[in-house]
A and B are shown apart, each in its own frame.
Chain A
Amino acid sequence: MAVRAGTLSIWAGAVSAALVLALTLGTLGAVVWRADGFGALGPRDWGYVWFTVWQAAASAAISVALAIPVARALARRQFWGRSALITVLGAPFILPTIVAILGLLAVFGRTGVVSEVLSWAGLEPISIFGVHGILLAHVFFNLPFATRLILQGWLAIPAERFRLAASLGFTVSDVARVLERPMLRDVVPGVFLVIFLICTTSFAVALALGGGPQATTVELAIYQAFRFDFDLSKAALLGLVQVMICVVAGALVFKVRLPSTSGVGLDRVVRRWEADGLGLRVLDALCIGLAAVFLLGPLSMIVIEGIGGVFSLPGSVLEAAWSSIWVTVVSTALCMALALSMALAVSRLSAGAGALVEGIGSLTIAASPLVMGTGLFVMIFPFADPTALSLPVTAVVNAAMALPFALRALVPAVRDLQAGYGNLSASLGISGFTWLRWVAVPRLRRPLGFGAGLAAALSMGDLGVIALFSNPDVETLPLALFRLMGAYRLEQAAAAALVLVTLSLAAFWICDRGGRVDVDV
């Protein structure tokens, strides 16, 4: 193109990419360097690796297996509240992990609803600490995600094919064989791998529900090696193992085609003729009903148990909430600055260089915040007390972790902007900051708002690096909540959880709404 290249935005994008590289590969290098070589992996460490992979695979398999009937039911039934339920299916992504865990404890824990019912019946109460708790929490988070993705696959089958099937007199099993199973073969592997990847790095779940030789993930082992033994060579070694697990899973995910997660068009229901029988209708109602109860039950328990305690929360929790808000604001701003500069650079670079920048921006999807945190600790330690910097470090790491999602929202939008208004801007001589102010930011408000909403919600609910760096005086709200749970102050924990989930949803809503209101399309 004869258009003068936006050198400034390319530089800004390059600086951002360098920062992300420093946070991912740089921190990893710092860990390796500080470790003074590796100890060998002992049998116990292999146990952690095995458990990490095994629980992630099992979580992904269960989530997908349960999601298929739910998605099938949603694809072929219209009912009151359907679109509300589909919206709720999108919520776990912005729901703080620790809140969900508290909700699950309230339903499935030793003093939870299910245990109480069992004890009335004269049976032993159940406990969700350990393997099955981890699986339960992972399924809780990923069943909705899997359902949305698979539902997308179902709705991508053209309605005409179902009409053709009806006119040919297909039965339920004919439709399944000819239309549905080929779609599932296409969609399910990708969904499985993404959930597998998510479950290998879900530190908060392992921290809250795991532990012990039977249920320790690699990330939890890093945390323990670092925090309890300050054994950096062990932490470094485990960190490398974790990175390898993530890289392998990430590379596999990169290979498979994923259905779009935009959620656009999920409101459509295809009229079906072969599935009108009463038995199938009852089956679908059961699937949808059980999924709704499973998802909404724990959240309702938080509200029921927490609402009374909200106004008597101790001052320390409110302070923690305040810290969380600040961390979120800083982290979101940083994440969006990184994402916007990288997206702009991607649109101005050649295809290869652009893909490289985009790839660097997506690195953190396969990075472990625990490894990042350990590396930053090692890097900061010679100069300052790392625990005094726990909040800024948390903000930076959270920004990096949310970056891939923000980039995914922004890159296509910037590309469209260039295609639609690039020539007009060039012919009028609008460039640099003027272009940013009058063209880019107004035109990109929607993806900027959505990306910022995701970044804000993720940061608000994060319980990762902060647990690694924490000292008794400084905490974020998720950490305060975790500590209340550990002290068995469950009513206060529920109240804090209610505050946290409100803040997370509000953070998402404010940003996302800000990008939508008064937008001129």
Chain B
Amino acid sequence: MLTFENMRVDLGDFTMEGTFEVAKGARVAVMGPSGAGKSTLLNVIAGFQDATGRLMWNGQEIGPLPPAERPVSMVFQDNNLFPHLTAFQNVGLGISPKLKLNEADATRVREALQRVGLEGLEDRKPAALSGGQQSRVAVARMLLREKPLVLLDEPFAALGPAMRIEMLGLVRDLVAETGATLLMITHDPDDARLIADQCILVADGRVEAPVEMETFLSDPPEAMRAYLGT
């Protein structure tokens, strides 16, 4: 279980606070108006942004840990892949940051790439992959890292609708397989419905506790209603 007690972010002219819990294995959409702090929230959990309060995973405080030592795997909006490394190397970094891979590691990397449908493309660099294939490489690395908490900062926003739905389906299947907890930023209620069963609202400097997706979308809070135009 992910718990955050008395979270507070202070960036001068922007503050955000909240106390919330996310159950283990939950799939949570993070929604709210642009600039409300959705990315900031994920950055705090991943360790890229300082905040006060107690951030805990399964009862252990993870706030003081550097990003790589947190139980977190994050897929960013862009720059998920190093352009000068092959798909294989980009995924391999998930096992060893020094890229020292033994035969068993290499097999795991190939299997992860296979699982996301990139068999045979191991030696391609990102420039030689389509946008959807690049997302798959990032997802393969996320899969390989086996972190129990997966954060998605709109990584598929630049893909076409069909491709995006396909990727969301892939991620949903993967987290279901591994039992990972998922937090995903999205603007689109349909995307949210597709992948998540709960929703966290970030608006007006507050992070609300998660509520059931259907409740949230059928009777949205005031701040969300203005945003969705319903």
Contact = CB atoms under 8 A, between A and B. Distances in A.
Are both chains from one complex?
A: yes
Contact of B84 (A426, A430, A442): A442
B74 interface: yes
Contact of A443 (B66, B72, B84, B93): B84
A428 B97 contact: yes
A430 B97 contact: yes
Contacts of B126: 520
B66 A438 contact: no
Nearest to A435: B97
A421 B79 contact: yes
Contacts, number: 77
Interface in B62-86: 66-69, 72-74, 76, 79-80, 82-85
Interface of A: 1-4, 420-421, 423-424, 426-431, 434, 438-439, 442-443, 519-521
B48 A423 contact: yes
Contacts of A3: 47-48, 66-67
14 contacts: A1-B49, A2-B49, A421-B79, A426-B68, A427-B74, A428-B97, A429-B66, A429-B67, A429-B97, A438-B93, A442-B82, A442-B85, A520-B83, A521-B83
B94 interface: yes
Contact of B69 (A429, A430, A434): A429
B125 interface: yes
Interface string B94-128: 10011100000000000000000000000001110
B93 A428 contact: yes
A246 B93 CA distance: 49
Contacts of A434: 97-99
A221 to B, nearest CB: 51
A416 to B, nearest CB: 11
A428 B85 CA distance: 14
Contacts of B84: 442-443, 519-520
Contacts of A439: 82
A279 to B, nearest CB: 50
B207 interface: no
B127 to A, nearest CB: 6
Nearest to A429: B68
A420 B93 contact: no
Nearest to A421: B79
A413 to B, nearest CB: 14
Interface of B: 43, 46-50, 66-69, 72-74, 76, 79-80, 82-85, 93-94, 97-99, 125-127
A443 B82 CA distance: 8
Contacts of A423: 43, 46, 48, 67, 74, 76, 79
Contacts of B43: 423
B45 to A, nearest CB: 11
B68 A428 contact: yes
B192 to A, nearest CB: 24
Return the 6 tightest CB-CB contacts between A and B, nearest first. Answer: A429-B68, A442-B84, A430-B97, A520-B83, A426-B67, A520-B84
Contacts of A4: 66
B47 A424 contact: no
Contacts of B80: 424
Nearest to A445: B84
Contacts of B66: 2-4, 426, 429
Contacts of A420: 79
A431 B68 CA distance: 10
A426 B48 CA distance: 8
A152 B24 CA distance: 58
Given A3-B66, A443-B82, A520-B83, A427 B72 contact: yes
Nearest to B83: A520
B48 A424 contact: no
B101 to A, nearest CB: 13
B17 to A, nearest CB: 18
A424 B47 CA distance: 11
Contacts of B69: 429
B30 to A, nearest CB: 17
A430 B93 contact: yes
Nearest to B93: A428
Nearest to B138: A424
A1 to B, nearest CB: 7
Contacts of A2: 47-50, 66-67
Given A1-B48, A3-B47, A520-B126, 5 more contacts: A429-B67, A434-B98, A520-B83, A520-B125, A521-B127
A437 to B, nearest CB: 8
Given A2-B47, A521-B127, A427 B68 contact: yes
Contacts of B47: 2-3, 426-427
A174 to B, nearest CB: 45
A279 B79 CA distance: 54
A428 B83 CA distance: 16
A423 B72 CA distance: 13
Contacts of B93: 428, 430, 438
Contacts of B74: 423, 427
Contacts of A424: 76, 79-80, 82
Given A1-B48, A1-B50, A423-B67, A438 B79 contact: no
Nearest to A419: B79
Given A424-B76, A430-B93, A438 B99 contact: yes
Nearest to A420: B79
Nearest to B147: A427
A30 B222 CA distance: 72
B116 to A, nearest CB: 18
Given A442-B84, A520-B126, A427 B97 contact: no
A424 B72 CA distance: 12
A323 B120 CA distance: 51
A520 B74 CA distance: 24
A427 B67 contact: yes
A521 B128 CA distance: 11
